Amino acid sequence: MTCIIDYSFPREYDSTMFKEGCPGSIEIRSPKPEDIRCQKCGEKVEIWSDEPETQCKKCGHLNARPIGTSCIEWCAYAKECVGAEKLEKLRKASKS
């Protein structure tokens, strides 16, 4: 048995429906800071929830965070929801 899941939106939905964005993009649209430890020197480093990487101010190491799958990978309105620049940055990071 084959199961087909259709993730497309019905025609009556459009980008005006998502003026505030979808729930899946909240962390991207409204980022929050968090502290992580530098992978090289152990210094506390601030990274925002919408950033794939940040540089340590003490040693200069570029600390990367794994970017998981999110709605920006499949949603037809991702560009309008999170913005073109942020979308491109996150898509590049998820491929690396």
- In terms of Cα–Cα distance, which of 59, 56, 53 is closest to 44? 56
At residue 5, the pLDDT reads 47
Task: Print pLDDT tens along the chain (96 aa).
Answer: 454 544 455 444 454 555 566 777 777 778 889 999 999 999 999 999 888 899 999 999 999 877 667 788 888 888 888 889 988 888 887 766
User: Domain containing 22: what range?
Assistant: 15-95
At residue 11, the pLDDT reads 46
**Residue 4 belongs to a domain:** no
**Residue 50 belongs to a domain:** yes
**Residue 49 belongs to a domain:** yes
pTM for the whole thing?
0.59
Burial class (CB in 10 A: 0-12, 13-18, 19+), 3: exposed
**Residue 38 belongs to a domain:** yes
Based on the structure, what is the number of domains in the chain? Answer: 1
